[in-house]
């Protein structure tokens, strides 16, 4: 089975005349259409808002597109808050969800009047001490145990470092209310990259019932429930994609079954998606530069795990298209590798593909989220450029490729730096 790239070989040949491989390229048209589908799926909830997970693709040009489509931002660090501020986000346009949070990050979040999503019971006292408590606050829930949806285990929240227990949620809401917090939100993230339309509705049911319990036990005024991320994408071409309209309708049914009868029919629903919003609309484009024939057949690319870490880190599958050879038989078995001094620097293992020749352009699919963002500089590797394929077909550079000067910039105070570049 195949996936079709959103760029053609002819387009890539033109692009590479100006921007050499490797590079990540993003599809503006696909991003916008997907954001609009999500908004439509939850249009039944008048307070609905998507807070894009900045960590997935922290590029201001991409986030600006999502802002134009009505999305807020979910930030998890000081620099992500800086990026949000540069994009003129403030107040309830920012959700700050972090853990083991340094004091200066809470201070920055308070300066921006962001919605703070507390990860731990002890952070109540810590936040009050270092930055003061806001009028609105959110708390992250961890139910513990195993999380199941569609009659199968989805993940193990009991092993996750995140969130309050139910008892801590009750006590935390009481304490925060006594300290003057006026309105509340609830947040949870219980499974990652799910391919079932039941995940969000199941999670929503858990959080809606918790909201009723917290309201009844503490008197808290609950204004929003954040379903966080977890909606996955079909990395493999044979995977069945999620149906966002069915997901939105499933959440609506749980909302009407649980919240409306309890008098909580004005609660806003928030999402905090990254992978779902961006992953399918990004490609890593590389060139085949080496062949190796030993115990296996290897194709070496000019990209490496520094450009896409997921296969090395998780053993994750990313589909590969050999551009111009889409219709040729996939009868050659290859390991597709980068040049890091690590044996796990492989984009694919024992992958059946058409015959690959030196100079072939290779598209690695679904890199629009947690692709460039997870890059690193091991072996002194320099991270690639990022490009935007605009709706009119033109291409815009939205992040230049790193240079050796970038790599050594943090020692620019030293004599070593002068020897390197003088």
pLDDT tens-digit series, residues 333-370: 999 999 999 999 999 999 999 999 999 999 999 999 99
Give the span between the Cα atoms of 207 and 364, in whole angstroms. Answer: 37
Length of the chain: 422
Q: What is the mean pLDDT of residues 394-416?
A: 96
Q: What is the pLDDT of residues 15-40, one digit of tens each?
A: 999 999 999 999 999 999 999 999 99
Of the CA atoms within 13 Å of residue 346, those in its CB half-sphere come to 15
Q: What is the mean pLDDT of residues 372-393?
A: 96
Q: Is the pLDDT of residue 271 over 70?
A: yes
Q: Is the pLDDT of residue 323 over 80?
A: yes
Question: What is the distance of C-alpha 179 from the center of its chain?
Answer: 34
Contact 46, 319 (CB under 8 A): no
Q: Is the pLDDT of residue 152 over 90?
A: no
pTM for this entry:
0.95
341 is catalytic: yes
| Residue with more model confidence, 422 or 175 | 175
pLDDT at residue 161 in the model: 82
pLDDT at residue 160 in the model: 74
pLDDT at residue 94 in the model: 98
pLDDT at residue 192 in the model: 87
Q: Domain 280-411: give its CATH code.
A: 2.40.37.10
User: Where does the pLDDT of residue 269 fall: very low under 50, low under 70, confident under 90, or very high at 90 and above?
Assistant: very high
Q: What is the pLDDT of residues 209-251, one digit of tens each?
A: 999 999 999 999 999 999 999 999 999 999 999 999 999 999 9
pLDDT at residue 158 in the model: 65
Beta-bridge partners for 284: 24, 364
- Which part of the chain has CATH 3.20.20.10? 28-279
pLDDT at residue 18 in the model: 97
Contacts 24+ apart (CB under 8 A), 58-62: 58/83, 58/373, 59/372, 59/386, 59/398, 59/399, 60/86, 60/87, 60/398, 61/388, 61/396, 61/398, 62/26, 62/31, 62/278, 62/388, 62/398
Backbone angles phi and psi of 391, in degrees to 5: -60, -30
Torsional class of 163: left (φ above 0), alpha (ψ -120 to 50), beta (otherwise): left
pLDDT at residue 345 in the model: 96
User: Where does the pLDDT of residue 191 fall: very low under 50, low under 70, confident under 90, or very high at 90 and above?
Assistant: confident
Give the span between the Cα atoms of 27 and 279, in whole angstroms. Answer: 10
Give the span between the Cα atoms of 142 and 93, in whole angstroms. Answer: 24
Q: What is the mean pLDDT of residues 92-120?
A: 97
CA dihedral 343, 345, 349, 354 (to 10 degrees): -130
pLDDT at residue 190 in the model: 86
SS (H, E, C) the chain: CCCCCCCCHHHHHHHHHHCCCCEEEEEHHHHHHHHHHHHHHCCCCCCCEEEEEHHHCCCHHHHHHHHHCCCEEEECCHHHHHHHHHCCCCHHHEEEECCCCCHHHHHHHHHCCCEEEECCCCHHHHHHHHCCCCCEEEEEECCCCCEEECCEEEECHHHCCCCECHHHHHHHHHHHHHCCCCEEEEECCCCCCECCCCHHHHHHHHHHHHHHHHHHHHCCCEEEEECCCCECCCCCCCCCCCCHHHHHHHHHHHHHHHHCCCCCCCCEEEECCCHHHHHHHEEEEEEEEEEEECCCEEEEECCCCCCCCHHHHHCCCCCEEECCCCCCCCCEEEEEECCCCCCCCEEEEEEEECCCCCCCEEEECCCCCCCHHHCCCHHHCCCCEEEEECCCCCEEEEECCCCHHHHCHHHCCCHHHHHHHC
Q: Is the pLDDT of residue 287 over 60?
A: yes
Q: Is the pLDDT of residue 49 over 90?
A: yes
Contact 75, 114 (CB under 8 A): yes
Q: What is the mean pLDDT of residues 109-138?
A: 98
Question: What is the distance of C-alpha 14 from the center of its chain?
Answer: 30
User: Where does the pLDDT of residue 1 fall: very low under 50, low under 70, confident under 90, or very high at 90 and above?
Assistant: confident
Query: Which is catalytic among the residues 71, 75, 138, 341?
Result: 341
- Which part of the chain has CATH 2.40.37.10? 280-411
Burial class (CB in 10 A: 0-12, 13-18, 19+), 238: exposed
Q: Is the pLDDT of residue 167 over 90?
A: yes
Contact 3, 330 (CB under 8 A): no
Q: What is the mean pLDDT of residues 316-340?
A: 97
The mean predicted confidence, pLDDT, of the chain is: 95
Backbone angles phi and psi of 409, in degrees to 5: -60, -30
Nearest to 7 by CA among 283, 360, 238: 283
pLDDT at residue 148 in the model: 58
- CATH 3.20.20.10: does it fit domain 28-279? yes
Tokens standing for residue 211: 């909201």
Share of the chain above pLDDT 70, in %: 97
């Amino acid at each position: 089975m195949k996936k079709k790239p959103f760029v053609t070989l002819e387009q890539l040949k033109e692009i590479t005349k100006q921007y050499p491989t490797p590079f990540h390229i993003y599809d503006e048209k696909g991003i916008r259409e997907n954001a609009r589908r999500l908004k439509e799926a939850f249009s039944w909830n008048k307070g609905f808002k998507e807070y894009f997970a900045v960590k997935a693709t922290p590029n201001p040009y991409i986030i600006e597109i999502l802002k134009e489509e009505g999305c807020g931002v979910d930030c998890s660090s000081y620099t992500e808050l800086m990026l949000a501020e540069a994009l003129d986000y403030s107040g309830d346009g920012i959700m700050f969800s972090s853990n083991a949070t340094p004091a200066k990050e809470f201070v920055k979040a308070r300066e921006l009047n962001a919605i703070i999503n507390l990860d731990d019971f002890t952070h109540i006292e810590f936040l009050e001490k270092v930055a003061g408590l806001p009028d609105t606050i959110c708390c992250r829930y961890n139910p513990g145990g195993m999380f199941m949806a569609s009659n199968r285990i989805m993940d193990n929240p009991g092993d996750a470092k995140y969130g309050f227990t139910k008892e801590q949620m009750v006590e935390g809401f009481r304490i925060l209310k006594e300290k003057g917090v006026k309105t509340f939100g609830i947040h949870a993230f219980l499974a990652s990259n799910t391919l079932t339309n039941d995940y969000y509705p199941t999670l929503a049911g858990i959080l809606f019932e918790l909201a009723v319990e917290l309201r009844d036990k503490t008197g808290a005024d609950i204004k929003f429930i954040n379903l966080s991320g977890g909606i996955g994408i079909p990395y493999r071409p044979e995977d069945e994609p999620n149906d966002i309209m069915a997901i939105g309708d499933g959440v609506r049914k749980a909302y009407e079954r649980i919240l409306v009868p309890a008098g909580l029919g004005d609660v806003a629903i928030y999402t905090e998606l990254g992978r779902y919003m961006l992953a399918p609309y990004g490609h890593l484009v590389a060139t085949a530069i080496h062949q190796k024939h030993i115990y296996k057949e290897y194709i070496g690319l000019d990209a490496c795990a520094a450009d896409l870490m997921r296969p090395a880190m998780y053993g994750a599958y990313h589909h590969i298209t050999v551009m111009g050879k889409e219709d040729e038989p996939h009868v050659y078995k290859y390991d597709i590798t980068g040049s890091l001094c690590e044996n796990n620097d492989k984009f694919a293992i024992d992958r059946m593909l058409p015959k690959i020749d030196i100079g072939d352009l290779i598209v690695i699919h679904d890199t629009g989220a947690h692709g460039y963002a997870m890059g690193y500089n091991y072996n002194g590797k320099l991270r690639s450029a990022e490009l935007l394929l605009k709706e009119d077909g033109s291409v815009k550079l939205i992040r230049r490729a790193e240079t050796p000067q970038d790599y050594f910039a943090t020692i620019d105070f030293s004599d070593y730096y002068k020897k390197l570049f003088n």
